Amino acid sequence: MKKAKVLFVCTHNSARSQMAEGLLRALAGDRFEVYSAGTESTSVKPFAIKAMAHKGIDISEHTSDVIDKYMHISFEYVITVCDNAKETCPFFPATEHQLHWSFEDPSNAKGDDGFILAEFGRVRDLIEKKIREYFKI
């Protein structure tokens, strides 16, 4: 059975899109081939890695990729997970479903490490809930 291809897009591909990629792969990797990319490349946020580790999901080897790397692939789903990416994400003409799911950027959290990690965990949980609902997992 062919796996549906899913691309999660965020501005920097450093937190929300990375967590979405890790979550969908862990929850339904048998059904989906999952990628993430950004409109700009940076690096994966350490707090995103820690928040995912708390769920038993390792994204420590993920890299921050630019969306141009994936323009030649036909995706069933292209999902932007931040408002800025929605505005700057190119149109994928071969995509069956181009969706937008708006999540707050946990990277903007201010406070001590415990508070910031809790914000990453809160956003991770919102992303997981949306994935479970949309893909019926």
Angle at 32 between CA 30 and CA 37, to 5 degrees: 135
* Contact criterion met (CB below 8 Å) for 14 and 38: yes
Q: Is the dihedral of CA 86, 105, 101, 50 positive or negative?
A: positive
How far apart (Å, rounded) are the C-alpha atoms in residues 99 and 110? 29
Residue 57 among the catalytic residues: no
Query: Out of 34, 52, 79, 89, which one is annotated catalytic?
Result: 89
Residue 121 among the catalytic residues: no
Residue 89 among the catalytic residues: yes
What do you get for the CA distance between the two ends of the chain, in Å? 18
Query: Out of 81, 82, 117, 123, which one is annotated catalytic?
Result: 82
Q: So which residues are the catalytic ones? A: 10, 82, 89
